[in-house]
Amino acid sequence: MPFLSPFRGTHRRRLRLVLKVALAVLALVLLKLLVHALGFERIGLNPLFSALVAATVFLQGFLLNGVLSDFKESEKLPAQLASVLENLALEIAAVPQHNPRAEVSAEVAAVLRLAYGVHTWLLGGLATTRLTALHREVHGSVVRAVVLLSSSTLQGRLMGHMGDVLQMINRIETIRQTHFVPLVYWLASLGTGLLCVGLIITRIAAIHEAVFFLGVIAFNLIFLLRLILDIDNPFSFADPNSIEFVSLKVLHDACCRIETLQQSLPASQDAPDHPAARSLP
Per-residue pLDDT tens for 225-263? 999 988 888 888 878 778 888 889 999 999 999 999 999
267 burial via Cβ count (<10 Å: 0-12, 13-18, 19+): middle
Q: Does the structure show a pLDDT above 90 at 270?
A: no
Q: Among 14, 10, 66, 16, which Cα is nearest to 247's?
A: 10
* Per-residue pLDDT at 268: 59
The average pLDDT across 77-83 equals: 95
Domain spans of the chain?
10-186+201-278
Q: Which residues are paired to 44 by β-bridges? A: 203
Range in 20-24, 122-126, 135-139, 233-237 the model is least confident about: 233-237
Range in 58-62, 111-115, 219-223 the model is least confident about: 58-62
DSSP 266: P
* Per-residue pLDDT at 29: 95
* Per-residue pLDDT at 277: 44
* Chain Cα centroid distance, residue 114: 19
